[in-house]
Amino acid sequence: MLSLAQLSPGHRARILRVPPEKRRLLALGLRPGAVVEILLKAPLGDPLEVRAGEAYLLVRRAEAKGILVEALSVAEPHELPPVRPTR
């Protein structure tokens, strides 16, 4: 099994387990069975931008290491979300 922190941008995965003490992540939609996609990793690897359904989340690498996933596929470039403008 992989952790969410081990995936590279563009990879999709199904969440298998979230540590029970991380209720905040569960409330944000990172729950077992959810399909997530890694969108970006900061230059030093922390944080990760993750898409879970319609939500875009920033997750600390330390938290992502505790989330166990099964890798699904790599998203095709046309399937990736458009780049959001910065302010």
Q: Virtual CA dihedral for 29, 38, 58, 26, nearest 10 degrees?
A: 20
Nearest to 18 by CA among 6, 30, 1, 34: 30
pTM over 0.85: no
Beta bridge partners of 38: 50
C-alpha 35, offset from chain centre: 9
Provide the 3-class DSSP secondary structure of residue 18. Answer: coil
pLDDT in tens, 18-28: 988 888 888 88
Mean pLDDT of the region 5-13:
91
